Structure 1
Amino acid sequence: MSRLPAFSRHCALPWLSALLVVVASPADADGLFTLKSENDIYSGGSDGHYTNGLEATWSFQTSPEHWLNDLADRLPGWSSGELDGGAYRLSHQIYTPLDIGEEALDVSDRPYAGVLLGGVSLFDSTPHDDWRRLRTLNLDAGIVGPAAGGETIQRELHHVLDSEKPRGWQYQLHNEPILNLSYETAWIGREHLNGLEVEYGPNLGFALGNLYTYGSVGGGVRLGENLSRSFGIPSIAPAQGGRSFFLPDQGFGWYAFAALKGRYMAHNLLLDGNTFEDSHSVDREEWVGDALVGVAFNWDRWQLSVTHAWRTKEFREQPESDSFGSLSLAFWY
């Protein structure tokens, strides 16, 4: 296995620090900063498969001179006049087999992989009489492999927590640059129920790139107070940059949510293995489904959301479905 020892062991944290400065730059006034943690420990699951994810997002309204307006004008079906906002995003993810204490390669379980991504998103919303359409376009670039630092981060974290030492990272995916485009559109209706508001509707989407290529269909529902102050259901990987937004300085609000999503996975680098080199891989399931439930609380300039996710088997020899959780904290700068 070809590796870049010095680079792979030490580059991830400087990348994260430098890109976080870009993501959290105050150049875009009145931005919403969101820090999201995804981990199987939140759901009581084992330390395997999608074992950890961390995402930082800076969402903002775009001024007329912002470069995202020029980008929107160049894209088919988009325009700066309809652009509702944008976001910068930085994420890191770690994937492992179930038995991280096994030194030998388990060919029946998923590969070790670290993923480091930086991305940009465009948002627009089109209001109608009693419903609205929301659209999100995401472009992500990054790297998978030793350069993403997954091995170093997991080893050091487990050392600090005195947890089981992962022993199979020598079989992780090789370094490979990533470029991925994803799009989702949702149609949202609103009703009132016993003094509460209800939002619901279907969504369609797709992703195209060497990390993921898929088509998706799903639907979601939110139930709570003052839903017009917020919109969006927190996303879970492989979805990138789902918009979960709220208006600041409007007191306390809350909502509960549930969602279902199905994907036809035409390609998943993290299961199919490297594109240009031989690497460990497993037989991917083509149809994968997610179920999400959770709750979000807004107060003044802060929002806290908690999500629990169940996912069907992603590869053929996977013994059972996975579950993991997500915690998200957002605040207006």
Structure 2
Amino acid sequence: MKAFSFVVRGAFASAFAAMWVASMSMPASAEGLLTFKSENDNYSAGDDGHYTNGVEVSWAFIPPDQHWLRDLADTAPGWSANGLDGVAYRFTHQMYTPDNIEVARLIENDRPYAGVLMGGISLFDSERHTGWRKARSLTLDAGIVGPASGADFLQREFHRWIGSDKPEGWDYQLDNEPLLNLAYRSAWIAQRELNGYEVELGPSAGFALGNLYTYAATGLGVRFGENLERSFGIPSIAPSQGGRSTFLPGQGVGWYAFAAVEGRYMAHNLLLDGNTFEDSHSVNRREWVGDALVGAAFTWNQWQLTYTYAWRTDEFKEQARHDQFGSLSLSLWF
């Protein structure tokens, strides 16, 4: 509980710090949504291992007519500058470890140590029809995996600060390797009313291509709550990239609950398969992986707080049990 308390307080301290820094650097005319997302196994019943920590800071906004992301949309097949209803910049840092971090040797039958540092951009568009809508996202990420991500230093120092177990195996982490990944997702969402509340339900499909992840995915999601028209989307969980979860400001108090399932055919996962051009630790990746998500979002004027619980099937053949972790997102309109 002591470690959990430090994680939560640290996450929200970082959230307010990130928001303050961003607000000081933005022009007075800026209007957009700043989101700080923290993913950690301490937010659920999970152990301190596998996907152990992730932090993402994003800035989403509607681009003006003369903006380079609108030009980019015009060059992307099937996209157009006029169709954009939002874009986002994103910064991500993630840590992956085996289950037992106190062992100072290579654990061959558990996942490699790995740190990921990425920056990305996302394009969003949607089509509204009577009773349903279609939403799409296109995301490009670039970054690095390996010691240059700083994950080993951050985990060691954080564990020293909270008096937790010292991670001993980072000498066996994946080597430095540049990352480039493209992801696409489309969802078809039906809208209904149920006993005075609103319900959104629909399937989704997507894919990712790159040296970090290559996969095809399909899923089904549902949202239930009040005034769903003023909010949008179910939060994404790694490895999904650039998912859209937003809301309209100045609408008072609101809420919604959500649940989703997704299945992926994983053709490549650098974090399990090991480095592309160097010999490194690797495990036997499972090709079929599934996620189940449940959570809730609470909105108050310019603010939104979201919690997501994630349950994931085994990602590699040597894995002793499935993984579970949680995600906390804090968003603020400027």
TM-score range, shorter chain: over 0.9
Residue 23 of structure 1: how far off its partner (Å): 10
Unaligned runs of 5+ in 2: 1-16
Q: Partners in 2 of 1:263 and 1:44 — Cα distance?
A: 24
> Taking structure 1 as reference, are residues 316 and 24 closer, same or farther at Cα in structure 2, changes over 3 Å only?
farther
2:99 match: 98
Q: Is the contact between residue 24 and residue 58 of structure 1 (CA under 8 Å) also seen in structure 2? A: no
Q: Is the contact between residue 24 and residue 33 of structure 1 (CA under 8 Å) also seen in structure 2? A: no
Residue 321 of structure 1: how far off its partner (Å): 0.5
Residue 44 of structure 1: how far off its partner (Å): 2.3
Taking the TM superposition and a 5 Å limit, the aligned residue runs for 1:176-325 are 176-325=177-326
Taking the TM superposition and a 5 Å limit, the aligned residue runs for 1:84-163 are 84-163=85-164
Task: Provide the alpha-carbon RMSD of the alignment.
Answer: 1.6
1:173 match: 174
Q: Structure 2: which amino acid aligns with 1:62?
A: P
2:26 match: 26
Residue 29 of structure 1: how far off its partner (Å): 1.9
2:84 match: 83
Q: Structure 2: which amino acid aligns with 1:130?
A: G
| TM-score using structure 2 length | 0.92
Q: Is the contact between residue 23 and residue 58 of structure 1 (CA under 8 Å) also seen in structure 2? A: no
Q: Is the contact between residue 23 and residue 57 of structure 1 (CA under 8 Å) also seen in structure 2? A: no
Q: SS at 1:51's partner residue?
A: strand
Write out per-residue CA displacement over residues 109-158 of structure 1, whole angstroms, 9 at most, x where no aligned residue. Answer: 00000000000000001111111100000000000000000100000000
Q: SS at 1:259's partner residue?
A: strand
Q: SS at 1:319's partner residue?
A: coil
Residue 255 of structure 1: how far off its partner (Å): 0.1
Q: Partners in 1 of 2:283 and 2:85 — Cα distance?
A: 41
| TM-score using structure 1 length | 0.93
Q: SS at 2:79's partner residue?
A: coil
1:5 match: none
Q: Is the contact between residue 176 and residue 274 of structure 1 (CA under 8 Å) also seen in structure 2? A: yes
1:69 match: 70
Q: Partners in 1 of 2:294 and 2:199 — Cα distance?
A: 15
Q: Partners in 1 of 2:63 and 2:246 — Cα distance?
A: 15
Q: Structure 2: which amino acid aligns with 1:288?
A: V
Q: Partners in 2 of 1:54 and 1:331 — Cα distance?
A: 16
Residue 240 of structure 1: how far off its partner (Å): 1.3
Write out per-residue CA displacement over residues 289-310 of structure 1, whole angstroms, 9 at most, x where no aligned residue. Answer: 0000000001100000000000
Q: Structure 2: which amino acid aligns with 1:155?
A: R
Residue 30 of structure 1: how far off its partner (Å): 1.0
Identical columns (%) = 66
Write out per-residue CA displacement over residues 16-37 of structure 1, whole angstroms, 9 at most, x where no aligned residue. Answer: x99x978995257211000000
Residue 246 of structure 1: how far off its partner (Å): 0.2
